[in-house]
A and B are shown apart, each in its own frame.
Chain A
Amino acid sequence: MTAVTANDVSLSWYEASARQRIDALVDAGSFSEFIGPELREISPHLSIFDLPEQFDDGIVIGRGRLDGAPVLVAAQEGRFMGGAFGEVHGAKLTGLLRAARALKQDLVILFDTGGVRLQEANAGELAIAEIMRAVIEARREGVNVVGLIGGRAGCYGGGSLIAGTCSKLIISEQGRLSVSGPEVIETNKGIEEFDSRDRALVWRTMGGKHRYLIGGADTFVDDEALAFREAAITALKVGTRCDVTVLEAEQARLERRLQRFGEAEDAVEIWQALGIDDPTDVPALPTGAFLRAATNRENADDAR
């Protein structure tokens, strides 16, 4: 039971802005922002390219309560520069993660990103490395870092690497999680390898259902803010470890997974191998039926 409900109105996570997502995620009225837009910490690079800046540099960070428990929150705004990581954007998340470690407070990251901002690539790449280190250091202190993926920009590039270091990932059908984006693959490998305009192909390769089925995400939820909230509350209650045993187990699982599915040409073949009765129907299944069909999915257990 949830004592405090944040928002009883249906809100599509996919549609919502970063700020709307935070409002709907945490207990009503509990959020206070760090380094808010009034401080105008803008990107030092974008003006060189004559590009518009945003006063929060596309990420909202702060502290709130989730089902009464204190939590730190970071939300990327996918509608600004595709939620991409730049210098300030990255530094805000790094700082928040370091605070999480120091305060021993759990942290939730609302991913919505295409990866590193090309206009500030060096700073952005450095930020990704710093953030991954900060995630691991926080987790080593027993802090949970939960990732929520269901925004319009998906979770690509450096964002997907960070997601890989989180303790739990929650994803919706609309959410996409992949290192290289569809257009990047098509540009480098040709349309025969990947047709980025075939959206059904994009989603069955990178979308939430597939990621959940192959153990790339831990919880599958509807595209509803309330569903993300409930899942985040649950995920934070389960403590996860982060040590050599866990990482070695995950390494072994990934090797097995590669052996098992490495030859598959399409996600549908993988779903078939997972024993799903009507694998071609997977994209059309509503959440309940999908979760029932997914009982034999690959499971990352605690390995993340």
Chain B
Amino acid sequence: MSDWGMQKAALGERLAAGRQHARGKVVPIPSLPAFLKAVIRSGDRVCLEGDNQKQADILATALANLDARDVHDLHMVQSGVVLPSHLHIFEKGIARRLDFSYSGPQSARIARMLFGGKIELGAVHTYLELFARYFIDLTPNVALIAAVSADKDGNLYTGPNTEDTPTVVEATSYKNGLVVAQVTEIVDKVPRVDIPGDLVHFVVEAGRPFYVEPLFTRDPAAITETQILTAMLAIKGIYAPYGVRRLNHGIGFNTAAIELLLPTYGEKLGLKGKVCTHFALNPHPTMIPAIESGWVEQIHCFGSEVGMEDYVAARSDIFFTGPDGSLRSNRAFCQTAGLYACDMFIGSTLQIDLEGHSSTVTTSRIAGFGGAPNMGSDPRGRRHPSEPWLKAGAEADPDSSAALRRGRKLVVQIGETFGDSNVPLFVEQLDALELARKLDLDLAPVMVYSDDVTHIVTEEGIANLLMCRSKEEREQAIRGVAGYTDIGRARDAKLVEQLRQRGVIRRPEDLGIDPLDADRRLLAARSIKDLMLASGGLYRPPSRFRNW
């Protein structure tokens, strides 16, 4: 006879072992090492919460401080490998296998450890993809999560940075896994219940907030006039003709420039209410002027942004907020929203090849994907129509029957022909291929595949890849906006001119844009202080961004 309650029994054993080190559900900080040793078993699949923003940093450090003789061979399944401690866990031999999504600041070290065999890599995922696998074949045995506060029953308040927590808890707790939360403080009553207490087995009172990286703050002072020109091109050449109302913006100065041009340049073009009304987007500080001038109707957020909490709370008509007034973010829902309910993604990248594949990896770094590939891909399961989606579909396939034709999501890559340190944006071959060869990966880490990207915008103009009818046309369209890079200089001038006649390539002058008008005076805010003032003092930027 099978015993159908083995997982429940195993959880019971863990709970009993954990209670030895806890008072009720509360684990005192000094007992944390002994507690973790008691509840985590060698070979466990462990989700250590952390993404590109929030981090369960106290629990990460405690896990890294375990003795590999007690706990080893863990399989880490987590969104972000971001803190140094996330890699100490592997260096010390506590964990062996890794499935993750984003590595940002640890991208160089993680690559070295992969070369050195310290980490056995499962796969690099997108956020949504990894979340999906939590429910199919990567369900955690233990989840170590982060929240703002808890009551003694384990009800959690996750505050504006809820992010991944509901997804991780759902997958772990309902499948007989153990959930441990670090919280800033234990309170009598939490401001709102983000995670019900019966899904949370233990809480650790850290005495300080979990770490959050202000990843989405772009200082308007650093926006260049070339970036302003690319932003003008995007607004007049893509946002306006397609009437893009529902969209996601990537991180980066090009999209920050677009956000700051809406109330000035966008207003002048008469686009208010016609574009950029609904976003799947973190609360970018550079969105403040557009929100304040009434451009935006609604924004759903993956996470929060440091310093934006009070502003968001005071703009509940725009943002999703809880009964306590503060933002409720949710990465899984927002990623889904970005994938299915947005008509456009626009973001910067580091390398674009001649087919239009793009990537942010270099040969010595594995930065992971985060959410960009989900945002920057055409969802084949989409069924609802919208004007931009249908228009893009028609451009890609003008001859087939309209009623049977799929629409297309607009996936726009934007950048300067020469990026940071004058490195060309356009390359013959992506560094990702070399990396895949060196690491013996089945797949090169490509951020946005060529068949998903619809437009490339540089200061040289817009290449509309939807209207390219052959591989050769596509290559020349890309070369045609690649400026003075080697790729651009090797263009076939005649073909490029033909593409321009057909409107596949549109130069600034074709759109009635004078590059000399690309002036920083067009920006609705030119400094972090302008943003603070535009928010009526509600935005409180972190010290490192303040020049006053």
Residues of chain A having any CB pair with chain B under 8 Å: 11-12, 14-15, 173-174, 197-203, 207, 209, 283-284
Q: Which residues of A sit under 8 angstroms from B521, Cβ to Cβ?
A: 11-12, 15
CA–CA, A298 to B530, complex, Å? 29
CA–CA, A82 to B520, complex, Å? 19
Q: Which of B526, B537, B544 contacts A198 (CB 8 A)?
A: B544
Would you give the shortest CB distance from A66 to chain B, in whole angstroms? Answer: 24
Listed A/B pairs (26) with beta-carbon separation below 8 Å: A11-B521, A12-B521, A12-B526, A14-B526, A14-B527, A15-B526, A173-B548, A174-B527, A174-B547, A198-B543, A198-B544, A199-B543, A199-B547, A200-B543, A200-B544, A200-B546, A201-B543, A202-B547, A203-B546, A203-B547, A203-B548, A207-B547, A209-B548, A283-B548, A284-B537, A284-B548
Is A200 within 8 A of B520, CB to CB?
Answer: no
Would you give the shortest CB distance from A150 to chain B, in whole angstroms? Answer: 12
Q: Which residues of A sit under 8 angstroms from B527, Cβ to Cβ?
A: 14, 174
Q: Which residues of A sit under 8 angstroms from B545, Cβ to Cβ?
A: 199
| Cβ < 8 Å to A, chain B residues 4-54 | none
| Cβ < 8 Å to A, chain B residues 508-548 | 520-521, 526-527, 537, 543-548
Would you give the shortest CB distance from B14 to chain A, in whole angstroms? Answer: 43
Tally of contact residues, B, Cβ under 8 A: 11
Is B526 within 8 A of A207, CB to CB?
Answer: no
Is A197 within 8 A of B544, CB to CB?
Answer: yes
Would you give the shortest CB distance from B308 to chain A, in whole angstroms? Answer: 17
Q: Which residues of B sit under 8 angstroms from A199, Cβ to Cβ?
A: 543-547
Is A15 within 8 A of B520, CB to CB?
Answer: yes
CA–CA, A199 to B217, complex, Å? 14
CA–CA, A197 to B548, complex, Å? 13
Chief secondary structure at chain B's binding surface: loop
The 3 closest A-B pairs by CB, nearest first: A200-B543, A200-B546, A283-B548
Would you give the shortest CB distance from B144 to chain A, in whole angstroms? Answer: 30
Contacts known (A12-B526, A15-B521, A284-B537); A207 close to B544, Cβ less than 8 A: no
Residues of chain B having any CB pair with chain A under 8 Å: 520-521, 526-527, 537, 543-548
Would you give the shortest CB distance from A40 to chain B, in whole angstroms? Answer: 23
CA–CA, A203 to B526, complex, Å? 17
Q: Which residues of B sit under 8 angstroms from A201, Cβ to Cβ?
A: 543
Would you give the shortest CB distance from B307 to chain A, in whole angstroms? Answer: 12
**Inter-chain contact total with CB atoms closer than 8 Å:** 36
Of B521, B537, B545, most A-chain CB atoms within 10 Å:
B521
- Sample of 5 more A-B contacts, CB < 8 Å, known A199-B547, A203-B546: A173-B548, A174-B547, A207-B547, A283-B548, A284-B548
Q: Which residues of B sit under 8 angstroms from A203, Cβ to Cβ?
A: 546-548
Would you give the shortest CB distance from A290 to chain B, in whole angstroms? Answer: 10
Q: Which residues of A sit under 8 angstroms from B543, Cβ to Cβ?
A: 198-201
Of B527, B543, B545, B548, most A-chain CB atoms within 10 Å:
B548
Residue of A nearest to B519 (CB): A15
Q: Which residues of B sit under 8 angstroms from A283, Cβ to Cβ?
A: 546, 548
Q: Which residues of B sit under 8 angstroms from A173, Cβ to Cβ?
A: 548
Would you give the shortest CB distance from A138 to chain B, in whole angstroms? Answer: 33
Q: Which residues of B sit under 8 angstroms from A209, Cβ to Cβ?
A: 548
Q: Which residues of A sit under 8 angstroms from B520, Cβ to Cβ?
A: 15
Q: Which residues of A sit under 8 angstroms from B537, Cβ to Cβ?
A: 284
Residue of B nearest to A202 (CB): B547
Would you give the shortest CB distance from B105 to chain A, in whole angstroms? Answer: 15
Would you give the shortest CB distance from B533 to chain A, in whole angstroms? Answer: 9
Would you give the shortest CB distance from B170 to chain A, in whole angstroms? Answer: 39
CA–CA, A14 to B548, complex, Å? 13
Would you give the shortest CB distance from A225 to chain B, in whole angstroms? Answer: 12
Q: Which residues of A sit under 8 angstroms from B526, Cβ to Cβ?
A: 12, 14-15
CA–CA, A15 to B526, complex, Å? 8
Residue of A nearest to B523 (CB): A15
Would you give the shortest CB distance from A161 to chain B, in whole angstroms? Answer: 24
CA–CA, A198 to B548, complex, Å? 11
Q: Which residues of A sit under 8 angstroms from B546, Cβ to Cβ?
A: 199-200, 203, 283
Would you give the shortest CB distance from A89 to chain B, in whole angstroms? Answer: 24
CA–CA, A15 to B527, complex, Å? 10
Would you give the shortest CB distance from A80 to chain B, in whole angstroms? Answer: 15
CA–CA, A173 to B546, complex, Å? 12
Residue of B nearest to A286 (CB): B533
Q: Which residues of B sit under 8 angstroms from A198, Cβ to Cβ?
A: 543-544
Would you give the shortest CB distance from B446 to chain A, in whole angstroms? Answer: 33
CA–CA, A78 to B526, complex, Å? 17
Residue of A nearest to B520 (CB): A15
Would you give the shortest CB distance from A167 to chain B, in whole angstroms? Answer: 27
CA–CA, A67 to B544, complex, Å? 40
CA–CA, A197 to B544, complex, Å? 6
Would you give the shortest CB distance from B257 to chain A, in whole angstroms? Answer: 15
Would you give the shortest CB distance from A87 to chain B, in whole angstroms? Answer: 27
Q: Which residues of B sit under 8 angstroms from A200, Cβ to Cβ?
A: 543-544, 546, 548
Q: Which residues of B sit under 8 angstroms from A15, Cβ to Cβ?
A: 520-521, 526
CA–CA, A145 to B99, complex, Å? 66
Q: Which residues of B sit under 8 angstroms from A207, Cβ to Cβ?
A: 547-548
Residue of A nearest to B530 (CB): A12
CA–CA, A200 to B528, complex, Å? 12
CA–CA, A135 to B516, complex, Å? 38
CA–CA, A35 to B496, complex, Å? 44
CA–CA, A199 to B548, complex, Å? 8
CA–CA, A173 to B527, complex, Å? 13
Of B520, B537, B543, most A-chain CB atoms within 10 Å:
B543
Would you give the shortest CB distance from A193 to chain B, in whole angstroms? Answer: 17
CA–CA, A207 to B548, complex, Å? 7
CA–CA, A41 to B546, complex, Å? 38
CA–CA, A242 to B120, complex, Å? 74
CA–CA, A58 to B547, complex, Å? 25
CA–CA, A14 to B547, complex, Å? 12
Would you give the shortest CB distance from B541 to chain A, in whole angstroms? Answer: 9
Residue of B nearest to A12 (CB): B526
CA–CA, A203 to B529, complex, Å? 12
CA–CA, A15 to B220, complex, Å? 11
Residue of B nearest to A10 (CB): B521
Would you give the shortest CB distance from B112 to chain A, in whole angstroms? Answer: 25
Q: Which residues of B sit under 8 angstroms from A197, Cβ to Cβ?
A: 544
Residue of B nearest to A11 (CB): B521
CA–CA, A209 to B526, complex, Å? 20
CA–CA, A207 to B526, complex, Å? 18
CA–CA, A189 to B260, complex, Å? 39
Residue of A nearest to B528 (CB): A199
Would you give the shortest CB distance from B538 to chain A, in whole angstroms? Answer: 12
